[in-house]
Amino acid sequence: MKTGRISLALAAVLLLAGLQARAEVNEIVVAQQYGVSFLPLMVMEKQKLIEKHAAAAGLAGLKTSWTKTAGPSAMNDGLISNTIHFAAQGAPSMITLWDKTHGQIRGVSAMTTYPLYLVSRNPDVKSVKDFSGKDKIAVPSIKISTQAIMLQMAAAEAFGEKDYAKLDPLTVSLSHPDATLAFLNNTGGVNAHFSSSPFYEQEIKAPGAHLVTTNYEILGGPATAVVLTASGKFREENPKAYKAFVDALGEAIDMINKDKRAAAQLYLEAANDKKNTVEDIVKIISDKDYAYTLKPQKVLKTAQFMAKIGSIKQTPKTVGDLFFPGIEGLNGD
C-alpha cells in the first residue's frame, strides 16, 4: 500500500515536471524598429545568441522570429495579445503599457542610450517656440512614441504645462526611413523630423537643415532611447526562454562594445544599408553620447511627466517600479 502511494506521488511529480517543461515556448517573437540603435538585436539574430543560451538552459531547438515595425502601436498590440514576446521600443511606449496593464507589462532592461535629434528645414524655426502651421514634424507614432513625448515635454517648457500638446497637431506618423525620404524630398510638406542615427546624419547634410533640439537637452542629460519590454505572464511561464533572451542581450552588448568595427560591419549587412560606410557607423556608435547599456537613464523622469499631464494614471515612485527584477547591479533612473 505504501509502495503504491509512493508510486502515485512519484507519478504526480513527474507529470508536474512534464507540464512545467512543456510550458516553455518553442518559439519567441522579437519586434524592433529601424536604425543603428537596434544593433544589439541584430547581433543576437546574426550570431544566434538566444538559441545558444536557450540550448545551454535545456531549451535546445528554441526558435526566434524577428519582425520589424514602423512604430510602437503594433508592438503594444502584440505584447498585449501575446503574439510578440519581446519588443524593443521607446521608454514612453513601455511606460504606457505598464500603466495600462497595471504593471503586468514592464521593461526587461534598457538597451540603447543615444540622442534623438529634432531637425528642421524651415529657416524661421530656431527653437521649439517657432514651429507653426507651416510645419509638419515626422515622428514614429503620434502622441505615444518617444519623440512625440519629447515634443510634449519641450512644449510644456516653452509654452507652459497646460499647452504641452500644442505641437501635437503638427506631427505625422512615419517610420524613420520613410520620414527621412519625406524630409529630404519635402514630401507631403514634411519639413521637420525627430530623428535618430544614422538617419539624422543623412538629413543634416540637406540644404537648410539644422538642429533645433535633442532629447538630451529636453531631459537634462543622457537618456535611454530604447528599452526591451515583455509581459509578466510570459516571464512567469517561460523563465528559461526569458533568461536566455536577457543573457543573449548582455552578450551582444559586450560584443559590440569590445569590437565596434565588426559590429558596424554587421549592421550594414543586416540593415542592407548602402548609404553609410563602416567608418560612418563606427563614428556614430563611438560617440561619447551614444551607449549600448542595460542601465536605464531618465526613464523615471519621462514617466513622471506622463503622469503629470494625464497620459498615464499611475505615478511610479522609483525606476524599479517600471522594470522586472533580474538586471542586478544596475542603478538606473
- pTM for the model stands at 0.83
Closest CA to 43 of 324, 280, 298, 281: 281
The pLDDT value recorded for residue 8 is 52
Q: Is the pLDDT of residue 34 over 90?
A: no
Q: What is the mean pLDDT of the chain?
A: 90
227 vs 22, higher pLDDT:
227
Q: Which residues contact 22 (CB under 8 A, 6 or more apart)?
A: none
DSSP letter for each residue of 173-225: E--HHHHHHHHHHTGGG--EEEE-TTHHHHHTTSTT-EEEEEHHHHHTS--EE
Q: Classify domain 117-219 by CATH architecture.
A: 3-Layer(aba) Sandwich (3.40)
Q: What is the pLDDT of residues 309-325, one digit of tens each?
A: 999 999 999 999 999 99
Closest CA to 69 of 84, 50, 51: 84
**Cβ neighbours around 330 below 10 Å, total:** 13
Same fold for the pair 25-113+223-321 and 117-219: yes
Q: What is the DSSP letter of 166?
A: T
CATH number of 25-113+223-321: 3.40.190.10
Q: Is the pLDDT of residue 300 over 60?
A: yes
The pLDDT value recorded for residue 23 is 66
Q: What is the pLDDT of residues 166-216, one digit of tens each?
A: 999 999 999 899 999 999 998 999 999 999 888 999 999 999 999 999 999
The pLDDT value recorded for residue 145 is 85
Residue 177 is which amino acid? P
CA 40 to chain centre: 11
DSSP letter for each residue of 262-327: HHHHHHHHHTT--S--HHHHHHHHHSTT-EE-S---SHHHHHHHHHHTTSSS---SSGGGTB-S--
- What integer is the mean pLDDT of 292-306? 94
- Grid coordinates of 168: 501635437
Cα 93 from Cα 91, distance rounded (Å): 5
**Domain boundaries along the sequence of the chain:** 25-113+223-321, 117-219
CA 257 to chain centre: 19
The pLDDT value recorded for residue 4 is 52
